[in-house]
Amino acid sequence: MAIELKPLEQFTIERLVPLHIGKLDVSYTNSALLMTIAVVLITALVMLGTRKRALVPGRWQSVTEMLYEFVADMVDTNAGQGAEAFLPFIFTLFMFVLFANLLGLIPYSFTVTSHIIVTFALAAVVFIGVTIIGIVKHGWHFLRLFVPENVPLVLLVLLVPIELLSYFIRPFTLSIRLFANMLAGHTMLAIFGGFAASVGIFAILPLGINIALVGLELLVAVLQAYVFAILSCLYLRDALHLH
Amino acid sequence: MDLASAKMIGAGLACIALVGAGVGIGNVFSALISSVARNPASQAQVQPFAFLGFALAEATGLFGLAIAFLILFVF
């Protein structure tokens, strides 16, 4: 009676268009398809939303303006002065993670952000980019980021390694946070779905839990996109203003 | 002890990580409630931080949950 649970099956990558260049496998996978859909949807939303440029915005223009103002406000309050130049980057990052998370919630689709290589690539871009910005802007003074001010010399011996570690661990925490949330959430949905399929008449209970979990996952999808963007803003502030 | 039972015990142990997430989330929202109760005007300012704290606290617990799932279903 028990159906064998395979909750991790939903994360399998399938080659939709097999393509090999030499030994390199550059097949067009379901992961790439979902990323393409996300990018097309974001582009369509923003382009069509701002096409009319009406003084009194219509529905789509309102949505676009709300998203833009939300991210602009976030960058303004968290990344400090001089960060307006990086608003397009943060906006792109936020929208991509948000759409990838939300598209993953559609049944039988694929969650791009549940693969650590995707989130790690995003986090690595943020980390390397922010470090380069800091070095270009401050030169050698950038290293002062690792030395807290007004601290006795004895404590510095302890604090500098901690600061260094907490700096270099950033891309890992940033990527694992998003990846673990998506992985755990979608696995949990699949497990409760499997329960519902295997207990017959009592399926109403796990099904009810599953519906509540979809609501929670919706919240988590938006929240994790927000967290990813806001932490990128905070890292940017560190690089721009050093403390 | 055979591998199957060791996996079950390991997954159960990994789920203990969620205790921390529960304590953390409860802490975040209790602080939110008490600060809003003291100063209702501050709700708009503190709520984003509360949800940021909620997401960060939840993520740490989910690391453990993800490990439990990996133990159960991958190895």
Asked if residue A3 belongs to a domain, the reply is no
Give yes or no for B54 touching A (CB within 8 A).
yes
| pLDDT at residue A164, rounded to an integer | 92
* pLDDT surpasses 90 at B34: yes
| pLDDT at residue B22, rounded to an integer | 93
* pLDDT surpasses 80 at A4: no
Does the distance separating the beta carbons of B74 and A8 come in below 8 Å?
yes
Read off the tokens for A102: 């939300």
| pLDDT at residue A3, rounded to an integer | 54
Distance from CA of B67 to the nearest CA of A (A): 9
The residue among A117, A109, A115, A86 whose CA lies nearest residue A38 is A109
| pLDDT at residue A199, rounded to an integer | 82
| pLDDT at residue B60, rounded to an integer | 86
Residue of B nearest to A114 (CA): B66
pLDDT above 90 covers a percentage of chain A that reads 53
Asked if residue A4 belongs to a domain, the reply is no
Does the distance separating the beta carbons of A227 and B55 come in below 8 Å?
yes
Cβ contacts of B58 on chain A, cutoff 8 Å: 181, 220
* pLDDT surpasses 70 at A77: yes
User: What ipTM was assigned to the predicted interfaces of this complex?
Assistant: 0.77
| pLDDT at residue A1, rounded to an integer | 41
- Residue A69: strand, helix, or coil: helix
Predicted TM-score (pTM) of this structure: 0.88
Does the distance separating the beta carbons of B52 and A177 come in below 8 Å?
no
Asked if residue A2 belongs to a domain, the reply is no
> How does pLDDT run across A82-119, given as a tens digit for each residue?
888 999 999 999 999 999 999 999 988 899 999 999 99
Higher-confidence residue: B27 or A193? Answer: B27
Look at A148-152, A225-229, B5-9 and tell me which has the smallest mean pLDDT.
A148-152
Residue of A nearest to B66 (CA): A184
Both ends of chain B: CA-CA distance in Å?
16
Q: How far is CA A104 from CA A52, A95, B22, B52, B67, in A?
A: 31, 14, 26, 22, 21
Average pLDDT of the segment spanning B25-44: 94
Does the distance separating the beta carbons of B74 and A227 come in below 8 Å?
no
Asked if residue A145 belongs to a domain, the reply is yes
> How does pLDDT run across A165-177, given as a tens digit for each residue?
999 999 999 998 9
Sign of CA dihedral A61, A35, A170, B44: positive
| pLDDT at residue A121, rounded to an integer | 95
Interface residues on A facing B, Cβ-Cβ cutoff 8 A: 5-8, 176-177, 179-181, 183-185, 187-188, 220, 223-224, 226-227, 230
d(CA A160, CA A166): 10
Ordered domains of chain B (ranges, CATH): 3-73 (1.20.20.10)
What domain count does chain A have?
1
The whole domain housing A58 covers: 9-241
